[in-house]
Amino acid sequence: MRLLLAAALLLSVLTPAGASGVLIVTEELPPYNYQENGDAKGMATEVVQAVLEETGVDAKIEFYPWARSYRLAQTRKNTLIYSMARIPEREDLFEWVGVITPVATSFFKLTANKEIKVNSLEDARKYSIGVSLENVNYLYLKGKGFTNLELVGEDLLNMRKLAHGRIDLVPFDEASFYYQVRRDGMDAAMFEPAYRLEDLSRFLYMAFSKSSDPDLIERFRQGLQSVKDDGTYDRILMRYSLMN
């Protein structure tokens, strides 16, 4: 009996957020969500943290590659994921809490490559496009019938491939793209937006796994609305706009 109790206690310690507690998952997507000296940072992260404070929920934010976070948010009860675009392909896969940040997405190309011209989504079919596994850009373009997609596991790999001319285009959030290439030591002037993807230029959300407790989901929805009503949300967004 003592061995069983000890094993149960050890399991509760090793399991993230416990077997039934709230787990929050995300990826490295600065300036929205990223880690700095082991601490969760970023504009979207601050909104999530404000909601946690408002609801009184104690939960740790875990950073994983997007594909792993995405799987956890589809398979584990009481799992919250952010920052995620809300597109038709995802609509029924999650319980949506609400908007946490605005977002703008464009195809990026090398500034020096004057041969690449994209004036419509159809024009992009002529070029090789770098996308990441389970990323919204991949799901969106795949849903539009694109077959010229080169798939990798991490966003930064696509930026490096673009820098070396191994692919022609990378669809990505505009603020995050420039943030990440600078952090990787690349000259941001090497790249320029070629075409704005309006369908993906709206908002990023937080959402729960479908199996999550309905009361918990509603608690977070109300918490998010409260931080918007009291001005906390606008103050977070304003601070980051001034920083950029």
Q: Is the pLDDT of residue 206 over 80?
A: yes
For the four alpha carbons of 125, 93, 65 and 53, in that order, the dihedral sign comes to: positive
What pLDDT is recorded for position 179? 87
Going by pLDDT thresholds of 50, 70 and 90, the confidence category of residue 63 is very high
Q: Is the pLDDT of residue 18 over 80?
A: no
What pLDDT is recorded for position 133? 86
Q: Which residues pair with 109 in a beta bridge?
A: 192
Q: Taking residues 106-121, report their average pLDDT.
A: 97
Contact 169, 124 (CB under 8 A): yes
Angstrom distances, CA of residue 37 to CA of 16, 34, 40, 41: 20, 10, 9, 10
Measured between alpha carbons, how far is 10 from 218 in angstroms, rounded to an integer? Answer: 31
Q: Is the pLDDT of residue 13 over 60?
A: no
- pLDDT tens digits for 156-197? 999 999 999 999 999 999 988 998 899 899 999 999 999 999
What pLDDT is recorded for position 154? 86
Instruction: Return the structure tokens found at 81.
Output: 């994921």
Contact 224, 51 (CB under 8 A): yes
Question: Pick from 194, 6, 35, 37: which is nearest to 110 by CA?
Answer: 194
Domains within the chain, CATH numbers bracketed:
15-102+202-243 (3.40.190.10), 105-200 (3.40.190.10)
| 83 prior amide bond cis, ω within 30 | yes
